[in-house]
Amino acid sequence: MRMYDIIEKKQLGNALTEEEINFFVHGFTVGKIPDYQMSALLMAIYFQGMNGVEQAALTKAMVQSGEIIDLSQISGIKVDKHSTGGVGDNVSLIAMPIVASLGVPVAKMSGRGLGHTGGTIDKLESIPGFHVEMTNKQFYDLVNKNKLAIIGQSDKLTPADKKIYSLRDVTATVSSIPLIASSIMSKKIAAGADAIVLDVKTGAGAFMKDYASSKQLAEAMVTIGKQVNKTTVAIISDMSQPLGNAIGNALEVKEAIETLKGIGPKDLTEIVIKVASEMIVLANKTTNIDIAREMVKETLENGKALDMFYLFVQSQGGDAEIIYHPDQLPQAKYTHTIYAEQSGYISELIANEIGVAAMMLGAGRVTKDSVLDLSAGILLHKKVGETVKKDEPLLTLHYNTVSNENLTSIIKKINNSIRISSEKPEMNPLIYEIIR
């Protein structure tokens, strides 16, 4: 088999066979296929696409390139949840204890955040003492005992994806849907999930900014799931404005606790209930999504989900008392509130701009090695569709080490990302569609 022929075949728009896909994934991972040939193939895939069978074969080949986590020591159906990334997206922090409190084992492997979207582990590490360092055996034991544990993603998972992603990053091929879908799904499958709930974000703050591509991505991932026998459900949800009111690690933990207490923001609560209900169904706790929804609401109302969060934090070394004393989470030294310059309706809060502003305050990583300021971030006082009066607070910045010059440019960025109109704006749906 020759890489040249595979490139030419894809360039002409033909489907590659499983053998051909295995050949280039393996060959590139072990260094036998040079970057220039792989780049040419990635560009051919970018323009010609891949059918469902090819995408599944690519996913499987990337899974096979590294360690595959065996969760068989944990009893029950392991359902994983993945978000394609958004601003203020702390759904995992809330959905995990909810489903665990209903008896679904949650063995979560998670990465850290980069850029304006945050990582679940970073958020949890804002709880004093919380850590994810443990052996795989300790991790399995903890899930069997408590139903919920989180560990950092092994760097031995899907080395092919890592190498291919680095090349995509410098060859303008990141935005190819078959490549994104197989990249995401390979990591979920290698992490040992039996079934997967995907929260595919759409809008300004999302990886996929327009609805048509978000839907294509969701469909591609669900198809891959079917082909590899991992039931996958994708929820397409809005990310034109930040989710909930908090952006930033400790601020999002506090908001997650409020949501577990039943006093969280409406949009966040709604997405959490939807994600958790789908997870309950995939875990076979019920086949009826309406019953699942009632189960989720009940565990929120009776405090069992909050108790599970307490147990989870305590078992991973964290100070679980922050649940009752959230003021003991890291607090920023300085705050700066931005007020409305006119009365009207909030018609836009551009999610990615606000996310980047939060990152500039220290809440996100600019590069892989950046040190996070866990207390930094932004609290929104108004969301799209709400009315505001002149001089009412719109949002508050929380920060420690930002220079006056940087603060001025952050404030400018935020002012450019908020629109107030005299007309009530048309609202995007919070949940667009569920792809099964």
- Judged by the rule CB under 6 A, the positions of this chain that interact with ligand URA are 165, 179-180, 183-184, 207
What distance lies between CA 2 and its chain's CA centroid? 38
Burial class (CB in 10 A: 0-12, 13-18, 19+), 148: buried
Of the pair 154, 347, the CB lying nearest ligand URA is at 154
Minimum distance from residue 151 beta carbon to ligand URA (Å)? 18
Q: Edge-to-edge, what's the strand order for the sheet holding 393-399?
A: 246-247, 377-380, 393-399, 334-339
Is 187 marked active-site? yes
Taking CA atoms, 380 is separated from 3, 87, 357, 395, 397, in Å, by 52, 12, 13, 4, 9
Quickly count: other Cβ atoms within 10 Å of residue 305's Cβ. 27
Of the pair 207, 312, the CB lying nearest ligand URA is at 207
Quickly count: other Cβ atoms within 10 Å of residue 321's Cβ. 13
Minimum distance from residue 186 beta carbon to ligand URA (Å)? 9
Give the angle 426-272-279 at the CA atoms, nearest 5°. 125
Minimum distance from residue 207 beta carbon to ligand URA (Å)? 6
Q: Going by C-beta distance under 8 Å and a sequence separation of 6 or more, which residues neighbour residue 49? A: 176, 177, 178
Backbone angles phi, psi at 435, to 5 degrees: -105, 125
Of the pair 55, 183, the CB lying nearest ligand URA is at 183
Minimum distance from residue 85 beta carbon to ligand URA (Å)? 7
β-partners of residue 378 are 247, 397
* Alpha-carbon torsion, ordered 387, 389, 391, 393, to 10 deg: -30
Minimum distance from residue 217 beta carbon to ligand URA (Å)? 9
Q: Going by C-beta distance under 8 Å and a sequence separation of 6 or more, which residues neighbour residue 13? A: 48
Of 50, 289, 272, 59, nearest to 182 (Cα)? 59
CA distance 59 to 79: 19
Q: Going by C-beta distance under 8 Å and a sequence separation of 6 or more, which residues neighbour residue 390? A: 340, 341, 342, 343
Of the pair 72, 175, the CB lying nearest ligand URA is at 175
Of the pair 38, 180, the CB lying nearest ligand URA is at 180
Is 168 marked active-site? yes
Minimum distance from residue 113 beta carbon to ligand URA (Å)? 12
Q: Is the separation of the CB atoms in 360 and 352 below 8 Å?
A: no
Q: Which of 122, 161, 194, 199 is catalytic?
A: 161
DSSP 114: B
Is 365 marked active-site? no
CA distance 273 to 151: 24
Is 155 marked active-site? no
* Alpha-carbon torsion, ordered 340, 343, 346, 350, to 10 deg: -40
Q: Which of 82, 108, 215, 398 is catalytic?
A: 82
Is 82 marked active-site? yes
Minimum distance from residue 297 beta carbon to ligand URA (Å)? 31
Q: Which of 168, 230, 274, 365 is catalytic?
A: 168
Q: Which of 176, 183, 186, 417 is catalytic?
A: 183
DSSP 398: E
Minimum distance from residue 190 beta carbon to ligand URA (Å)? 12
Of the pair 69, 361, the CB lying nearest ligand URA is at 69
Q: Is the separation of the CB atoms in 342 and 390 below 8 Å?
A: yes
Which active-site residues does the annotation give? 82, 161, 168, 183, 187
